[in-house]
């Protein structure tokens, strides 16, 4: 079973663009992506408006973007970006975030949400995850999303008639917090093989094949079905 957020980046070429208003950040991410196997770096842009013409011309597959730009936010540009290249995934890469910003970004069509404080390897593997249809979330932020949902966390499953046991919900919430299988085993006082058994059963119920898809279904369910308090 593939553990996508903690497996090595597979060798394939993904065309990636980057959008950020800060020149120093653009240079740093440019260097990271250009020096990473499996990434074909297209270009870095100072704004979504500047990126828009190049997205379609270069057939960008994953666009990594800061959340805000001088009064605008990336989700305001998603209809135009997606209109130019519907198959492209947009991964938000923000200097800050909270539960509302994450869920609203996902509900508006973003494919994932990371923090710039996350380790560089997480960005590389998140690019692979969104390219493959997953939805990676910064482990720091998923804790807040789950805390915000609180006792309503099981509502999404009930609405889809997915009967997860308390242990299975613990598994998904642990994955959403960024825990590895060994971390889950230690936290719950069970063996790694028992963790694998529970997750195989949980993935089957959710009709997903990996960690990122399971987290995506959980978090996107909160984004669409659980209104956050004002």
Residue in this structure with the two tokens 């959403």, named with its chain if needed:
176
CATH 3.40.50.2300 correct for 4-138: yes
Residue 107, class by beta-carbon neighbours within 10 Å (0-12 exposed, 13-18 middle, 19+ buried)? middle
Q: pLDDT tens digit string along 15-26?
A: 999 999 999 999
Please determine, for residue 170, whether its predicted confidence score (pLDDT) is greater than 90: no
Specify which residues 93 forms β-bridges with. Answer: 114
* pLDDT-wise least confident of 52-66, 84-98, 134-148, 173-187: 134-148
State residue 10's pLDDT score: 41
Strands 68-69 and 89-94: unpaired
Q: pLDDT tens digit string along 45-84?
A: 999 999 999 888 889 999 999 998 887 888 888 888 888 8
* C-alpha distance from residue 12 to each of 30, 41, 154, 193 (Å): 18, 13, 37, 31
How large is the C-alpha radius of gyration of the chain? 18
pTM: 0.64
Which residue spans of the chain are classified as CATH 1.10.10.10? 143-225
Of 63, 57, 72, 55, nearest to 19 (Cα)? Answer: 63
CA distance 31 to 34: 5
- CATH no. of 143-225: 1.10.10.10
Please determine, for residue 12, whether its predicted confidence score (pLDDT) is greater than 70: no
Please determine, for residue 153, whether its predicted confidence score (pLDDT) is greater than 50: no
State residue 108's pLDDT score: 79
State residue 210's pLDDT score: 64
* Positions of E strands within 57-152: 62-65, 68-69, 72-73, 89-94, 112-115
Between 123 and 207, the more confident residue is 123
Please determine, for residue 160, whether its predicted confidence score (pLDDT) is greater than 70: no
The mean pLDDT of 173-191, rounded to a whole number, is: 80
Tokens of 208: 């997903």
Which residue spans of the chain are classified as CATH 3.40.50.2300? 4-138
């Amino acid at each position: 079973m593939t553990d996508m957020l903690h497996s090595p980046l597979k060798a394939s070429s993904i065309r990636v663009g980057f959008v950020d208003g800060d020149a120093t950040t653009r240079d740093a991410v440019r260097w990271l992506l250009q020096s990473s196997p499996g990434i074909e770096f297209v270009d870095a842009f100072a704004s979504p408006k500047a990126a828009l013409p190049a997205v379609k011309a270069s057939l960008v597959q994953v666009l990594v973007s800061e959340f805000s730009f001088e009064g605008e936010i990336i989700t305001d540009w998603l209809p135009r970006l997606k209109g130019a290249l519907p198959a492209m995934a947009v991964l938000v890469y923000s200097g800050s975030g909270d539960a509302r910003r994450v869920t609203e970004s996902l509900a508006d069509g973003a494919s994932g949400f990371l923090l710039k404080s996350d380790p560089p390897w997480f960005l590389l593997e998140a690019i692979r995850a969104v390219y493959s249809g997953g939805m990676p979330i910064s482990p720091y932020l998923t804790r807040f999303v789950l805390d915000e949902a609180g006792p309503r966390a099981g509502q999404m499953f009930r609405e889809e008639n997915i009967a997860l046991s308390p242990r299975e919900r613990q598994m998904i919430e642990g994955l959403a917090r960024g825990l590895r299988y060994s971390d889950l085993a230690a936290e719950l006082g069970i063996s790694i093989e028992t963790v694998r058994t529970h997750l195989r059963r949980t993935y089957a119920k959710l009709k997903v094949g990996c960690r990122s898809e399971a987290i995506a279904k959980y978090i996107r369910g909160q984004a669409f079905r659980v209104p956050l308090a004002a």
